[in-house]
Structure 1
Amino acid sequence: MTENTPGPQDPQDAYWRPQEPAKQEAAQPESAPAQPAQPVGATQDMPAHEQPHWQPEAPAEPWTARPTGQEQVLFGSAVPGQGQPGVYVPPPTTQTYPTPPPPASPPRRAGGLVAGVAVLALLVGGGAGALGGYLVADRNTASAPSSLDVPKPASQAAANAPDGTVEAVANKLLPSVVQLRTQNGEGSGFVIRQDGLVVTNNHVIEQAADGGSLKVVYQDGQIADATVIGRDPTSDLAVVQSKGVSGKAPVVLGSSENLKVGQAVVAIGSPFELSGTVTSGIVSSLHRPTRAGGDNGSEATVMDAIQTDAAINPGNSGGPLVNMAGQVVGINSAIYSPGSSQRQQGGSVGIGFAIPIDQARRTADEIVKTGKATQTVLGVKVQTDQNGGAKVSEVSPGGAAQAAGIAAGDVVTKLDDRRIDTSDALVAAVRSKAPGDKVTLTIGNGTRTVTATLGGAPVPTN
């Protein structure tokens, strides 16, 4: 194979709640004595032998607290199976209540009184503390500041976003990014000329290349018909022309040559038909040999790709990858998506690939001027060597490789300063160059180098 085709809700009433005091007292017969209140947090379902019993009215004693009439009647406090809830029913057997202790001697009585007063004081103090705490909490709640009470801030000043921010890049690029629609799908692109000349991926418009429907949707809502000017399946690039369009803002093309790993970038496009979507990330790697396509009879593309973690999803294809100066440095083209298939597209996992703009610019310019593209070739068929490198299996007569003295069996391990460890790596490296460029090839373990002047070949589109 040549370097063009390298080898192989629950209801509220479902929960029990105590009756309101007013309703509970109304429901309780007047003849029924009040039940002493249980301490807060006491368990309601007590064993029968521990259930509190109603005490008969007795003369007031220091140790006897008179019912206040404010106690709540809780369901479950009556003897199970007798009477109505909250109504006292005498037990079937007579209960013997303890006889109050005889009056104590004055000293002892004084001590008991002091103790009773102390207990009463503690009870009153505890109740007052609880009530006071509730009142304080209620008052604090009412007076606590709320975000809803704060006046709405004044409208944000219409100042320009600071240079070098994602906001600034988005403001600059969005008017120039378009959505492309065909009968079978959609993708993205960007304007390179005011009359609606658009650059995109070949796989975005491929189905419209032979006269199929193709429409360009601009950020201002304008929809225009378009035709394919030319395309290059081997580099996955295409140029289309909108009809009846003028005054569109073209992008500024930057350079991919000076990109650095870790450099911030922004991706803009129409993922899943969500036009004008902006994501950001960094350059994760450079010169990543990436093979994409090759399904359903289409030609495989091998890219010398920019790898980025900016979210790229189906529909982003053809949209620009932009540096923080607002210059296009790549064309988003592919993603790595484990588990995806032909029937179910995957989404971003932080590994996306873009065609370097230097390569895309050269190809797009040629298409605009001639309607066709020329592919850079070395003139060999290669396969990955088991020890690493691209092993030459066939040399094309009269090609650049033959002129440089490369023979079948040679293993190319470097192109200039770039390491070559697979056949795709060599293909990607060669395609990143232009026809006529001179390159130095290292053969084997480095004991031999050759210089080759790369050639060019017309790109078939069918």
Structure 2
Amino acid sequence: MDRTDYRAPERPTGYGPAFEPGHQAADAAHDAGFPPYAAPAARPKARAGWRAVVVAALVAAVVSAAVTAGLDGWLTGLPDAEEAAAEQALDATGEQAAPAPVAETGSGQVTDVVAVSEAVSPSVVNIDVANAQGQGSGSGVIIRADGHILTNNHVIEGATAVEVTLPNGAQLEAEVVGADPSSDLAVVKVDSDTDLPVPTFAERAPRTGETAIAVGSPFGLEGTVTAGVVSALNRSLPGEQAPLVDMIQTDAAINPGNSGGALANGDGEIIGINTAILSPTGSNDGIGFAIPIMTALPVAEQLIDQGFVEHAQLGVRGQDVDPAVAELYSLGADEGALIVEVVPGSSADEAGIQRGDIVTAIDGETVDSMATLAGRIRAHEPDDTVEITVVRGDDEETLTVTLGRAPSDQG
């Protein structure tokens, strides 16, 4: 995945202590970082206050076991109150009323949330972990009948022990098959005496406005079902090693502990893996995000087959271009990804991409930021050929690029 020129913003106040990944040295931030949250174009430039992108992570016995990522790339711990709320919630058990049906916007049909829940819930598990910081829990989705389960990397990262609780109450030890921090995905496996139920995975992209139903273990409450709609598509968020792109946004309630769980459509098909929320409090505020299942499954297959993931690489560093920047520096394009460095010998270098070029499209799809550029590249495999459109001075060119292979973490 292509790296960008990242400059950390001033530290926000009022949202807990900053948490900086230990592997990222301060003097390496300019050439090893990735772009912060890419705000939608319609958002006003003036900031009305800080919001935190909360990784809907582990319901932890310590604050550091669940993390959040600020809009500008800062990571903060969940407030202590979240831990207390989780403990209270776990004691307040009781029978839940069946959710009401939800109208599927745009289709004229009504979705039976009960039917979707009954179809999906048997394939969504609770994942308990122990690590150096304490204990926590998240969720996972069964993807193979032999016991392979898909979850988020941040759910199992650093785990010294992993235990899976199936919907039938069976508790099984699990091993980590593989993890990919750059996509925030991981696969664990359990040994079961019987085949485990595998859900149906969507083969089409979701549509804005259609039903979205989240299933998981928020605050450790296993088998929780919440319903809403697909609020938006193609959102970008900061990630641990790379931006998370093409994310599904939903207003279905997602909280810490939902990470790794399922987001389903009205037909009971899995459309995404719940991963993060946008919230000033660390819990649901109606803005959640899921990794599209069509992105997640190929990553999972690589993790199962070889234990690591090979990502395509272009070999550039750069920064965002917007109309204000374009006007200030008299650039030839109002938006795109401005190339500030081309790695010698990279696929970009071999294709003729130059410092100062503005990438505006890949295979005809618009590129309006470095995050979008990274996402477009990441959607491909190493050795794929793509057509990259660049603005060079007053001219526009289309270059054919054979993508390289990013260094992997297989050891």
TM-score (norm: length of structure 2): 0.67
Give, in whole Å, the separation in 2 of the partners of 1:443 and 1:366: 32
Give the 3 Å change call, closer, same or farther, for CA 196–416 of structure 1 in structure 2: same
1:239 counterpart = 2:187: yes
Kindly state the Cα deviation for residue 301 of structure 1 after the two structures are TM-superposed: 4.3
The one-letter amino acid paired with 1:177 is: V
**Does residue 179 of structure 1 match 2:126?**
yes
Matched, 1:169 2:120: no
1:191 is aligned, of 133, 142, 145, to 142
Contact 1:224–1:245 (Cα < 8 Å) also in 2: no
Aligned residue identity for 1:6: F
Q: Give the structure 2 partner of residue 128 of structure 1.
A: none
Alpha-carbon distance, 1:246 to partner: 2.6
Structure 1 CA distance for aligned equivalents of residues 407 and 262 of structure 2 = 26
Residue 213 of structure 1 aligns to a residue whose secondary structure is strand
Q: Provide, for residues 156-206 of structure 1, a one-character-per-residue CA deviation record: whole Å limited to 9, x for no partner.
A: 9xxxxx994221110011111001111231111011122221000000000
Q: In the alignment, which residue of structure 2 is the partner of 1:376? A: 312
**Distance in structure 2 (CA, Å) of the matches to 1:244 and 1:230:** 19
Match of 2:261 in 1: 319
Taking the aligned partners of 2:242 and 2:165, their CA distance within structure 1 comes to 28
8 A contact 2:34–2:242 mirrored in 1: no
TM-score normalised to structure 1 length: 0.60
Matched, 1:266 2:213: yes
Quick check: 2:205–2:271 contact (8 Å CA) kept in 1? no
Change (3 A) 1:271 1:302: same
The alpha-carbon deviation at position 232 of structure 1 amounts to 0.4
2:152 corresponds to 1:201: yes
Distance 1:404 1:176 in 2: 45
Q: Which has the higher helix share?
A: 1
Distance 1:173 1:460, change over 3 A: same
Change over 3 Å in CA distance of 1:349–1:366 after alignment to 2 = same
Distance in 1 separating the partners of 2:191 and 2:238: 33
What residue number does 2:34 align with?
Answer: 6
Contact 2:236 2:243 in 1 (8 A): no
For 1:319-338, list aligned pairs within 5 A: 319-338=261-280
- CA gap 1:350/1:437 in 2 versus in 1, 3 angstroms: farther
Residue 308 of structure 1 pairs with residue 250 of structure 2: yes
Aligned length: 295
Q: Report the Cα distance in structure 2 between the residues aligned to 1:200 and 1:377, rounded to whole angstroms.
A: 25
Kindly indicate whether the alpha-carbon contact (under 8 Å) linking 2:243 and 2:374 is maintained by their aligned counterparts in 1.
no
Give the Cα–Cα distance (whole angstroms) in 2 for the partners of residues 265 and 329 of structure 1.
8
Match of 1:428 in 2: 375
Does 2:292 match 1:356?
Answer: yes
Q: Deviations over 1:46-69 (max 9, x none)?
A: xxxxxxxxxxxxxxxxxxxxxxxx
Do the aligned partners of residues 435 and 166 (structure 1) sit closer, same or farther apart at CA in structure 2, a change above 3 Å counting? Answer: farther
Matched letter for residue 320 of structure 1? A
Per-residue CA shift, 1:20-75, capped at 9, x if unaligned? Answer: xxxxxxxxxxxxxxxxxxxxxxxxxxxxxxxxxxxxxxxxxxxxxxxxxxxxxxxx
Provide closer, same or farther for how the CA distance between residues 449 and 347 of structure 1 changes in structure 2, counting only shifts above 3 A: same
Higher share in strand: 2
**Change over 3 Å in CA distance of 1:175–1:261 after alignment to 2:** same
Q: Which protein has greater RCO, CA pairs closer than 8 Å, 6+ apart?
A: 2
Structure 2 unaligned blocks of 5 or more: 5-31, 37-97, 99-108, 327-334
Deviations 1:339-366 (A, max 9, x none): x4xxxxx111121111111121111111
**Which consecutive aligned stretches of 4+ in structure 1 deviate over 6 angstroms post-superposition?**
none
Distance 1:261 1:437 in 2: 30
Query: 1:17-56 residue pairs with structure 2 within 5 A?
Result: none
Q: 1:453 is matched with which residue?
A: 402
2:258 counterpart letter in structure 1: N
Q: Secondary structure at the match of 1:336?
A: strand
Following TM superposition, by how much is the alpha carbon of 1:287 offset from its aligned partner in structure 2, in angstroms? Answer: 1.5
Aligned residue for 1:267, secondary structure, equals strand
CA distance in 2, matches of 1:206, 1:244: 23
Identity %: 42
Partners of 1:320 and 1:244 in 2: how far apart? 21
Residues 1:186 and 1:245: Cα distance change in structure 2 (over 3 Å): farther
Match of 1:215 in 2: 163
Residue segments in structure 1 that go unaligned for 5+ positions in a row: 9-155, 157-161, 341-345
Please tell me whether the aligned partners of residues 266 and 321 of structure 1 are also in contact (alpha carbons under 8 angstroms).
Answer: yes
Are the structure 2 counterparts of residues 432 and 352 from structure 1 closer, same or farther at C-alpha, using a change threshold of 3 Å? Answer: farther
Does the CA contact (< 8 Å) of 1:235 and 1:303 recur in 2?
A: no
1:300 Cα offset (Å): 5.0
Considering only CA atoms, is the larger Rg found in Structure 1 or Structure 2?
Answer: 1
Would the aligned equivalents of 2:357 and 2:390 in 1 still touch at CA under 8 Å? yes
Q: In structure 1, the residue corresponding to 2:118 is in which secondary structure?
A: helix
* Equivalent residue letter for 1:2: R
Alpha carbons 2:141, 2:151 under 8 Å: kept: yes
Q: 1:206 to 1:245 in 2, by over 3 A?
A: farther
Structure 1 residues 455, 284: CA separation in 2 closer, same or farther (over 3 Å shift)? farther
Is the partner of 1:429 in helix, strand or coil? helix
